[in-house]
Structure 1
Amino acid sequence: MAPSRLDSPDSSDSAEVGYAASMETLDSYWKLGDDCVVAVQKTSLRKFNNEQCGYLVDKLQVVVQSARLFLEVLRAEGLRSYVDVAKQVETFKLLLALAKQVESFVQGCCKDSWIQSAMTLTNVWEYVASVGFHLVLCRVAFCMECAATGGLTLNEVEEIHKAEVEVVKKKAFADVDTLFEKVILEMPSLSSENKDLACYLIQRLKQVKPIPASGLHVSGSPSEGSSGFLGRLFKWVKPGGQLGRGASGTVDKAIWLGTPVAKKTFFGTENPDFMKEVEVLSPLCHPNVMSVFCSAKNKKSCSIIMELMDEDLYHLMQRRLEENNPPPFPILEAVDIMLQIGEGVKYLHNQRVVHRDLKSMNILVKTLDGYVHAKVADFGLSQTKEKSVRYSSLTYNVGSSRWMPPEIIKLDTRDTGSSAMTRTQKHPLKCDSYSFGMVCFEILTGDVPYPTIHNLKEVKKLIIQGQRPQLPKDCKNCPPMLIDLIEKCWSWNPEERPTFTTICSVLKYMKYSLMRSGEFLLLLATKKICF
């Protein structure tokens, strides 16, 4: 009897080749991650952030060891049919990206030019906590102990996150105390230029933890509110090539204190766009929010120095679609990007800032070894919560209609009925929840909302009528929980939309769930195989 199609030699050979290729990829990612462990172990004396560096190095060592043991178990005879080895490639890819981030952070804290380096690596405890938490998620995904109880619950994942945050905050406070003492000790011997940098560094340290002045007083320090102080930091800006040009100014590449940055220059000394961005961005510091390092004015223009990213999320997705078949991202990577954006907006809301213009074009990204780091950007329409209740008096970006909630569209079309106004005033933060749902649709499909409709008036009409884009319910491995979350985000009623605290909790749990291979873990628990 001829063999069935499933048992045919060709099918078997193909499966074996696929398994071998996937295992080779996993081995490659693991080796590169292990190289990062070796690199951080060989680093010279840390000049600052010693506690946070030690925390990250310890976490990385444990998870890389867990990954090695996981690979050994995967090779065990008779177990390969219980795990989707190809699926684990995305988890190992994430592990490598985290390892690279740890290596970069630790090496940055070991530079001889420690004042310059500390200016960009201070007040980043939330970044350290995020990396540490995701390293823990990877370890848990590799660890077999969780299989005995069927895996972690949403609340348990959230508790892990809270625990890591508390640990890192304590270590960050200790690092602040140590660095502050170091700055005070070395201040008398610093050059005048480095004293300016040291004063700026003290300002950033105080954002992490209030520090007594201890009698320190330096002329032109940030505490005096000297507008000239931040301007003096422009001495170290070296211009590069132009990145873009718009109606209100230009964006150029530059080097600032040895770091590639973006220099955004606005036409005119009293440009309102400049004033708005400086007002909103200057106090902010979060790994998923664009940062402003310094700003200055001269007789003809005003400028801000910001982080330099590769491109915006929209154009990244278009490139991905050209290179591969839809969707633009594997589901684990898609959820990770959503989580990063969600964490950025949650931070903004905690600072009482409403973004009001979330869309893929306003999310900037940087790709590290294939892993996407996302940051919320373009705060031209942002308002503090106290100022955000009078939406009807503001001018809206017409190009953002596809992401705009119905209550804003009704105001924007001069329908200032009391119902729409009340919903907007009572729930200003929920406008961002709605737009976030649309951004998630983009990430899953690579399309802008309502991609087949080119008339914006028709788009607005559909939104007001309650019609939403068609989500890819047949998307491979797309969790039903994710579909449910997105649909709640773009609910007609703002009260039914989740807060970003809830959004981030759900996405963290989904990310953990996607990294696990349930059948495999259950089998290992039954066989009492553990790490």
Structure 2
Amino acid sequence: MINELQCQYLLEKFCDTLTSAQACIPDASLQHIQESHDTLKSLTWLAKEAEKLVHDCCDAEWIQAAMIFANAKEHFASLTFKFRSYMELLHSIFKEGATKEFLTKLHNPKWIDDVKDEEFHFIDKKAKEDRQRLLLRLIHVGSSDSKNLIRRLQISSARATFLQDNATSVIDAWKVEYKSIHRVPNGQIRKGGSATVHKVTWLGKHFAEMCFHVPKNQNIQEEASLLTGLSHPNILPLFCYTTRDHSCSLIMELMDGDLHQLMERLVNNESQDALFELLEAVDIMLQVAEGMNYLHQNRVVHRDLKSMNILVKYNEHDKHVYAKVADFGLSKIKELSCTYSNLPMDLGTTRWMAPELFGDSKDHNVGPSSSSA
């Protein structure tokens, strides 16, 4: 019911890649198969990611699913671009080996940008058609949820204009009643200087609630509106928000933990020789870089990028880390929450600061509430 054309195109790209690999393997030499090991491993991770996205879009409760996944064109475009790149790489390895000429082509920024732009342009056309189909379905439903979702879709399609014109109207489209959010008993995930994170249920699914305590009559809607409509596979999205008394809660995707915790756990694992294999480490770095690039394209500055703010899902079976950048665009909300909170300040920010910021800071124990952090 949602993202139908994008799902179909993603499936076509996967089938093309799979067919290409199956055709090449029988005639490939042992050396070429060994050279393709990392590429096939990455392709397996990619296939599982694509399968999950399509499965999420096929939820029987389609209005609820659309509240979460209707604005997922960045996810689809990223996956189709990677499938196309892997197909090119596999074809080269199996037919010619990892030749210097092809590797030069693969590392050519212009070639990469051209392929990426082509895929993103094609997905954008599919996404617009999917959006129109969804809007027609929602208009016929006529429920409060459908009207709210229509407003979100309108804002997402012209986000920059809506943000500039009326931040309050924008964030209101993402506002839900507090009673619709249900905290899980004993579900506190983290308690920090600026926010407390709880495991909650909303629309019958599990999410993470980031609860900030803010002073009375303090308007944080403009700051929170920066997060609305942002959607990328490597950033933590805002699904909705709610207010109660002197608190503001942001409902985000529930992850397994952060990268810092994962690295500590792997260090203590005596059976593991290294934290990550080279392929895994590079993959994590690329995921974080792609998430940050998307934020910068949308004029959102993080201000506190560190391993504790890279949330992950970790598959123990294939050792794949799925990373998402979190805690971006919240500097003003954090400042208010820290100022009016009895909780201790978050520590460790200084060691992660960009070097050029130290010259502007009189106090080297800068926390996240500082305007220079």
Q: Please indicate, yes or no, whether the TM-score normalized by the shorter chain is above 0.5.
A: yes
Structure 2 Cα separation of the partners of residues 274 and 332 of structure 1: 41
TM-score norm. by structure 2 comes to 0.79
Q: Which amino acid aligns with 1:400?
A: T
Q: Which amino acid aligns with 1:376?
A: V
Aligned to 1:140: 88
Note if contact 2:256-2:313 (Cα within 8 Å) is conserved in structure 1.
yes
The structure richer in helix per residue is: 1
* Residue 201 of structure 2 is aligned to residue 246 of structure 1: no
SS of match in other structure, 1:244:
strand
Structure 1: give runs of 5+ residues left out of the alignment. Answer: 1-46, 188-194, 212-221, 384-395, 416-430, 433-531
SS of match in other structure, 1:379:
coil
Distance 1:157 1:273, change over 3 A: same
Structure 2: give runs of 5+ residues left out of the alignment. Answer: 160-165, 333-344, 365-371
TM-score norm. by structure 1 comes to 0.57
Structure 1 Cα separation of the partners of residues 5 and 171 of structure 2: 34
Structure 2 Cα separation of the partners of residues 335 and 248 of structure 1: 31
Note if contact 2:175-2:241 (Cα within 8 Å) is conserved in structure 1.
yes
Shift of 1:283: 4.4
Structure 1 Cα separation of the partners of residues 135 and 268 of structure 2: 50
Structure 2 Cα separation of the partners of residues 334 and 411 of structure 1: 32
What is the CA RMSD across the aligned residues, in angstroms?
Answer: 3.3
Structure 1 Cα separation of the partners of residues 259 and 26 of structure 2: 37
Residues 374-396 of structure 1: per-residue CA shift (max 9 Å, x gap) = 1111236648xxxxxxxxxxxx9
Structure 1 Cα separation of the partners of residues 171 and 353 of structure 2: 37
* Residue 122 of structure 2 is aligned to residue 173 of structure 1: no
Aligned to 1:198: 146
Instruction: Percent identity, please.
Output: 36
Shift of 1:120: 0.8
Residues 469-499 of structure 1: per-residue CA shift (max 9 Å, x gap) = xxxxxxxxxxxxxxxxxxxxxxxxxxxxxxx
Structure 1 Cα separation of the partners of residues 222 and 58 of structure 2: 36
Shift of 1:254: 1.1
Aligned to 1:267: 213
Q: Which amino acid aligns with 2:25?
A: L
Note if contact 1:269-1:298 (Cα within 8 Å) is conserved in structure 2.
no
Residues matched between the structures, number: 337
Aligned to 2:77: 129
Residues 246-282 of structure 1: per-residue CA shift (max 9 Å, x gap) = 2344211112112220012223554979768624423
SS of match in other structure, 1:247:
coil
Q: Which amino acid aligns with 1:291?
A: P
Residues 441-466 of structure 1: per-residue CA shift (max 9 Å, x gap) = xxxxxxxxxxxxxxxxxxxxxxxxxx
Aligned to 1:93: 41
Q: How does 1:185-224 map to 2 (within 5 A)?
A: 185-187=140-142, 195-210=143-158
Structure 2 Cα separation of the partners of residues 402 and 246 of structure 1: 18
Shift of 1:405: 2.7
Residues 316-344 of structure 1: per-residue CA shift (max 9 Å, x gap) = 22223333555422222222221211111
* Residue 193 of structure 2 is aligned to residue 225 of structure 1: no
Q: How does 1:501-520 map to 2 (within 5 A)?
A: none
Distance 1:301 1:284, change over 3 A: same
Shift of 1:204: 2.9
| More off after superposition, 226-235 vs 178-187 | 226-235
Shift of 1:296: 1.6
Note if contact 1:249-1:267 (Cα within 8 Å) is conserved in structure 2.
yes
Larger Rg: 1
Residues 79-106 of structure 1: per-residue CA shift (max 9 Å, x gap) = 32x3472x64432232222212222222
